[in-house]
Amino acid sequence: MMDVYDEEELCFPQLINTSCRKPTIPRVTVEFLQFQLFFNSVFTVTLNMLVIISISHFRQLHKTSNFLLLSLAISDLMVGLVFFPGETARLTSCWFFGDIMCLLYLYIISLITLASVGNIVLISVDRYVAICDPLRYHNRITVTRVRICISLCWLYSAFYSITFVKDGLNEETIQCQGKCVFFDYNTFVFDLVLSFTIPVTIIIVLYMRIFVVVVFQARAIRSHVTAVFLQCSVTGRKSELKAARTLGILVVVFLICYCPFYCAALGGDISFNTSVTVLCLFSINSCLNPLIYAMFYPWFRKAMKHIVTLKILQPGSSKINIL
pLDDT in tens, the chain (323 residues): 344 445 556 776 666 666 777 777 777 777 877 888 888 888 889 989 998 998 988 888 888 888 998 998 999 899 888 888 888 777 777 777 777 888 888 888 888 888 988 898 898 888 888 888 878 888 888 889 999 999 999 999 998 888 777 665 554 445 677 777 765 556 667 777 777 788 888 888 888 887 777 777 666 655 644 444 444 444 445 555 666 676 677 778 878 887 777 777 666 656 666 777 777 777 788 888 888 876 777 888 888 888 888 888 888 888 888 87
Q: Which amino acid is at 163?
A: T
Closest of 269, 301, 264, 268 to residue 281, by C-alpha: 264
Confidence at residue 3, expressed as pLDDT on a 0 to 100 scale: 47
Length of the chain: 323
Model pLDDT, residue 149: 93
Q: What is the pLDDT of residue 120?
A: 86
* 184 Cβ contact list (under 8 Å, min separation 6): 168, 170, 172, 173
Torsion over CA of 249, 257, 299 and 318, rounded to 10 degrees?
140
- In whole angstroms, give the CA distance from residue 110 to residue 118: 12
Contact 83, 283 (CB under 8 A): yes
Contact 289, 72 (CB under 8 A): yes
**pLDDT of res. 268:** 60
Point out which residues pair with 21 in neighbouring strands. Answer: 10
Residue 180, classed as helix, strand or coil, is: coil
Among candidate residues 165, 24, 169, the one with its CA nearest the CA of residue 107: 165
- The CA distance from 281 to 261, in Å, is 8
CATH of domain 25-319: 1.20.1070.10
pLDDT at 308: 87
Q: Is 66 helix (H, G, I), strand (E, B) or coil?
A: helix
Q: Cβ distance 141 to 129 under 8 Å?
A: yes
Please check whether residue 221 is in contact with residue 260, taking contact to mean a CB–CB distance below 8 angstroms.
Answer: no
- Report the candidate in 293, 283, 323 with the shortest Cα–Cα distance to residue 306: 323
Q: What pLDDT is recorded for position 1?
A: 38
Residue 84's pLDDT is what? Answer: 83
CA distance 284 to 254: 10
- For the chain, the C-alpha Rg in angstroms (whole number) is 23
Cα 218 from chain centre: 31
Q: Which residues are CB-neighbours of 93 under 8 A, at least 6 positions away?
A: 22, 23, 30
Q: Residues with Cβ < 8 Å from 293, sequence gap 6 or more?
A: 51, 69, 246, 300
CA nearest neighbour of 209 among 98, 104, 129:
129
